[in-house]
Amino acid sequence: MSSLPYVTSPGNIIKALDEIKKAAVPERVSQDFVKTILKIPGGSGDQMTSFLKKLNL
């Protein structure tokens, strides 16, 4: 089993999952989707993109 990417702000995981419930399903998870739709800016958004991709979302 591979490990998940490191996330410096674990509170953003809950925020991302809550926003995903409200958002339309994107064709793919991208940094633009994470930063504009999920509202997770900066480096945390970059980390969250990798994290969500690893979860196959």
Residues 13-48: b if buried by 16+ CB within 10 A, e if exposed: beebeebbeeeeeeeebeeebbbebbebeeebbebb
The one-letter code for the residue type at 33 is F
Convert the pLDDT of each residue in 38-53 to its tens digit: 989 888 888 988 888 8
Kindly report the pTM of this predicted structure.
0.74
For the chain, which ranges sit under pLDDT 70?
Answer: 1-2
Using a pLDDT cut of 90, give the percent of the chain over it: 7
Cβ contact 24:6 at 8 Å: no
In the Cβ-directed half-sphere of 26, how many Cα atoms lie within 13 Å? Answer: 19
Tell the residue number behind the tokens 């990417």, with chain if given: 5
Per-domain boundaries in the chain: 11-54
